[in-house]
Structure 1
Amino acid sequence: MVKKIPMRKDIVSGEMFPKKELVRVVKNKENEVSIDPTGKKQGRGAYIRLDVAVAKQARENKTFEKSFGIKIDPSFYEDLIAYVDHQVARMELFGNGK
């Protein structure tokens, strides 16, 4: 039996990707925006591809501000870029878990 791969839209490019290739960012009821490595945090989620260039583009275009309709501290984008960079390095080191 072929397992269905959950797909999500990258809000920077507008393209669909397997959920494993994306990082979820979530805004909770208190309007706090955070990276959601588990994909299970409460709140409104938005996804971007695990790609440093995409994370930097999100920062330049203020993608999450537009998506969530709130002001986001610039340090969040720095954390996001560092997180994405780390995840990409891990995937290169350990493969993508297949």
Structure 2
Amino acid sequence: MRRKHVPQRTCVACRQVKPPRELIRIVRLPSGDVEVDEKGKKPGRGAYLCPNKACWERASSRKLVEHALKTKITNEQEENLRQYCRSLSSESV
């Protein structure tokens, strides 16, 4: 019997390949807004990050999310992403 195909996604910060359920998706909506997509169902271009602060801080400092989403992130959107990062534990969720 064949195994079910599980899609793989890459963290934009550490480049680890994992199933999408183990990563957090950040999405650029068609309206241009950038936000965290906790369920992974929102339409738009997505970028994935591991659920640990180190990856979030690395992605923020190197503007990796901006590059992956092919858009500029406003200060307000960046602050929203940082608030989400602060809610994560220091190791992983």
**Alignment-mate amino acid for residue 10 of structure 1:** C
**Alignment-mate amino acid for residue 73 of structure 1:** T
Distance 1:79 1:29 in 2: 18
Q: Identify which of structures 1 and 2 has the higher relative contact order when contacts are C-alpha pairs closer than 8 Å and 6+ apart.
A: 2
Q: In the alignment, does 2:27 pair up with 1:11?
A: no
Deviations 1:38-95 (A, max 9, x none): 1000111110100101101111001111112221023433432432443548x76xxx
How does the TM-score come out when normalised to structure 1?
0.73
Asked if the contact 1:55/1:77 (under 8 Å) is kept, the reply is no
Deviation at 1:5, TM superposition (A): 4.6
Identity fraction in percent: 31
Q: In the alignment, does 2:61 pair up with 1:60?
A: yes
Give unmatched runs, 5+ long, in structure 1: 93-98
Give unmatched runs, 5+ long, in structure 2: none
For residues 7 and 85 of structure 1, do their structure 2 counterparts lie closer, same or farther at Cα, with a shift above 3 Å needed?
farther
Kindly tell me the number of residue pairs found equivalent between the two proteins. Answer: 91
